[in-house]
Amino acid sequence: MTKPRIFSVSNQKGGVGKTTTTVNLATALAAMEKRVLIIDLDPQGNATVSVGAKRTKGAQNSYTVLMGSDNVMDAVRETDIPYLYILPASKELLGVDLELASTGAPQFYLKTALKDLDSFDYVFVDCPPAVGLLTMNALVASDYVIIPVQCEYLALEGVADLMKTIQKVKKNFNPSLQLHGIVLTMFDGRSNLSKSIVSDVKEFFKDQVYDTLIPRNVRIPEAPSHGKPVMIYDMRSVGAKSYIRLAAEVLNREKELLANG
Ligand SMILES: Nc1ncnc2c1ncn2[C@@H]1O[C@H](COP(=O)(O)OP(=O)(O)OP(=O)(O)O)[C@@H](O)[C@H]1O
Ligand SMILES: [Mg+2]
């Protein structure tokens, strides 16, 4: 029994590749026979659908687990992919900010819910595009944060705020939280804007940026409508291959981070 390493995939900016990164990184690690759990903490439920599960209401899901009414292992489901499991989302997550606001320690619900989780190597929490209590709960429960940044105009909008949030969480709630890395997504090699964003982000965040660039690839938006990660939908696509490379880099970086204490 191992205690899992928990990653939040977060950026309050919408549509930057959080869910795509969560699902495909998780699938790539599952393909390496790591036991991986995706926690869909976004009421949109995109990660849930992307692995072929259903967003559920009234059943056991990430909302009922977060609120403490269900045990996490009772709510986790298998996917069609060996080694990959999902804790599906529910629309009821939409009400969490209001529901938890009046409680004593609203940031600690997910951490508490996951405290005895020992059947996975990795957990990836897909965060919603907001810095509300859902994201707070994810950061407080996590060892690491991965920030996807889209290679588009205003790419870094909000990232400075997210960095401040991470610092605040570290200081007040979770001293061991670490930025694992920044992943540049939807890179278009023919676009000068895309290239200049890559160099700006690398200049600013230096080696915190993963070497692997995720290119824009049509197979990626096609895959979720088939309820499959792109790696399963089209293994040979550049999208799939880039996420396999990213997974290898994530594993290497984890070793470095552990070695540096
Ligand atoms: N590398 C890529 N190439 C082409 N399309 C992509 C790529 N990555 C993501 N997309 C598409 O861009 C859209 C947004 O991606 P995704 O849902 O992963 O972002 P998100 O940050 O999770 O969004 P939200 O903030 O709404 O949760 C999706 O339609 C997705 O399929
Ligand atoms: Mg998403």
Per-residue pLDDT at 154: 85
Task: Kindly report the backbone phi and psi dihedral angles of residue 123, in degrees, each rounded to the nearest multiple of 5, phi listed first.
Answer: -125, 135
Pair 126, 38: CB distance under 8 Å? yes
Q: What's the N-to-C CA distance of the chain in angstroms?
A: 22
Looking at the CA of residue 23, tell me the nearest atom of ligand 1.
Answer: 18
Alpha carbon distance 80, 212 (integer Å): 27
β-partners of residue 145 are: 8, 179
Phi first, then psi, for residue 152 (nearest 5°) are -140, 170
Give me the pLDDT at residue 155, please: 84
Is the distance from the beta carbon of residue 15 to the nearest atom of ligand 1 less than 6 Å?
Answer: yes
What is the reported pLDDT for 36?
A: 98
Residue with tokens 């996420």: 243
- pLDDT score of 57: 62
Alpha carbon of 119 to ligand 2 centroid (Å):
25
> How many domains does the chain divide into?
1
* CB contact at 8 A, 231 and 24: yes
Q: How far is the CA of 116 from the centre of ligand 1 (A)?
A: 32
| Contact 220 CB / ligand 1 (< 6 Å) | yes
Distance of CA 75 to the CA centre of its chain: 19
8 A C-beta contact, residue 48 and residue 19 = no
Question: Looking at residue 213, what is its pLDDT?
Answer: 97
Q: CB of 240 closer than 6 A to ligand 1?
A: no
From the CA of 20, how far away is ligand 2's center (Å)? 7
Cβ proximity of 230 and 241 under 8 Å:
no
What tokens were used for 70?
Answer: 């269900």
User: Which protein residues have their CB within 5 A of the ion that is ligand 2?
Assistant: 18-19, 46
Question: Which of 48, 227, 199 minimizes the C-alpha distance to 59?
Answer: 48
Which residue minimizes the CA distance to atom 30 of ligand 1? 221
Q: What Å distances lie between residue 251 and 82, 166, 173, 174, CA to CA?
A: 19, 22, 26, 22
Say which CATH number the domain at 135 has.
3.40.50.300
> What is the whole-number distance in angstroms between the Cα of residue 32 and the centre of ligand 1?
24
From ligand 1's centre to the CA of 227, what distance in Å?
15
* Residue 129 alpha carbon, nearest atom of ligand 1: 25
Q: Amino acid identity, residue 21? A: T
Mean pLDDT by runs of 10 across the 261 residues of the chain is 92 96 98 97 97 80 96 95 96 95 93 96 97 96 97 86 94 97 97 94 94 97 95 95 98 87 65
Q: To which residue do tokens 């997974």 refer?
A: 247
147 pocket-lining for ligand 1 (C-beta < 6 Å): no
Domain limits for position 202: 5-259
